[in-house]
Structure 1
Amino acid sequence: MTHQQFLTTTHGLQRHTPPMRLYEKAKRLGIWNPSDINLAQDKADWQQLAPDEQDLLLRLTAMFQAGEEAVTLDLLPLILAIAQEGRLEEEMFLTTFLFEEAKHTDFFNRFLVEVVQADSDLSHYHTENYHTLFYQALPQALRALQADASPAAQVRASVTYNMIVEGVLAETGYHAYFTVMQQNNILPGVREGIRLLQQDESRHIAYGIFLLSRLVAADDSLWAVLEETMNDLLPPALGVVGDAFAAYDVMPFGLEESVFTDYALNQFQKRVERLEKARGASLDEIYRVTQRAIDQNDS
């Protein structure tokens, strides 16, 4: 395949579109360096934690660490699929995804090496439900785009990555981190890193909802694909949350499982409702709805 023309020397960039607005936010907010975060107090705080408290935070971090590595490894086919459709504005924003996921991998590794000084093999924290999502569903859905970049395949990939991995598991994990760290006033460096990570991931999820909305609006038959993928993956996602609580006779830090399952389901349901409204909507309406969501979360 050869190029017949270039967008920026024929029509120009559509800077009003949600992907370009997200790209502007990524340039402004996404350039942070994990190596600059001071973890000195975190080392001292870690030593004061009880063994079960350390174990819970290590379990949570082991899941995040592998999850960030997984998306770093598996993301390229989605970027390529969008690029092959000539959606330059979307591809420009997607270039920030891979940089940011790699940066998140870097951050969690710093915490494990410098603060926790953990054994290198933490895979025993990865339960069967975790394997279902990160070892199987995520790579399968994203790598499938190499052979089949159809709208249906893009829906499966984005639901898996943006709706489930980021929108359910990552956001619930952030909620757990912040609950523990803020209530106990510990680990300020990790707290700052997680804040920056969450900021990055909010842009990723916003794009995922935009992509799914655009695809469903163009072809309502894709709703069945979206719904089937969500129904397949939501149970193991909630299972990952349940597995963490099942590992302890008495949950460290006094955490309650219902608080986090309710949080996960609430985040999920809000996005499902957004996507339902996209059915039959015009592209202009999807732009307006997405832009309002971006403006409401302007951080």
Structure 2
Amino acid sequence: MGQTLGCIQVKQSKVAVKEQFGKFDEVLGPGCHCLPRCLGYRIAGELSLRVKQLDVRCETKTKDNVFVNVVASIQYRPLPEKAADAFYKLSNANSLIQAYVFDVVRASVPKLELDAVFEQKNHLARSVEEELEKAMSTYGYEIVQTLIVDVEPDVHVKRSMNEINAAARQRLAANEKAEAEKVLQIKRAEGEAESKYLAGLGIARQRQAVVDGLRDSVLNFSETVPGTSAKDVMDMVLVTQYFDTMKEIGASSKSSSIFIPHGPGAVKDIASQIREGLRQANAA
């Protein structure tokens, strides 16, 4: 703002307070104005209409006895139509705003537990804004926006909260891992049961095929070689299987075997035992 030959210039986004002989006369807006000094006019001061921001840090205690630092961001500006009130009635807007923020925060936060303070930041911001609007409108100021930008507990409380959160997540991970292992064990057991069932079917079919093959072999051999009975053929088959078994045992270098006294003649006894068992079964 400059003054030459009784003319002054008020810059944009500002207003000037005009006085005559020390008494308020009017508020001058942006532009050029005549100000004759001979008539006792002068500029008492100027006021910026731009939005200002004030960050207020307030330490208080929650309902569960945790000390926290609440950081509130207040955005305010003078009203053009009440510029005279803002210029004359209030000497330090920042100090007044800070006092009201302290009053509201320290009255509201002690009623809430720590978790609730984080959850109700918007509600706390509205409470501060409503109180400031009632107070600052008297002095010609408008509260544009009020934000609770941060809630900072003590560093030890932060560490404890992080440990609690980490423990909860580890517990959840352990439960999920246990459930996964449970599913794997169930699927493994189902697979083993299915495998054993199929193996049993395979063994049963193998034995059925062996029985069918032996029957066909005995019938064909009896028809091809005259004078032989089914008993003779079965004795020959048993002896053949006996020698095949002995051959397998001798061919395997890593087989674990128990040797007991026996001889080829024992096959005859085995055959007799089989026939005796079949005869008793038929008789029953």
State the TM bucket, normalised to the shorter chain.
under 0.3
Greater radius of gyration (CA) = 2
Name the structure with the higher strand share: 2
Structure of higher RCO (CA pairs closer than 8 Å, 6+ residues apart): 1
TM-score, length basis structure 1: 0.20
TM-score, length basis structure 2: 0.21
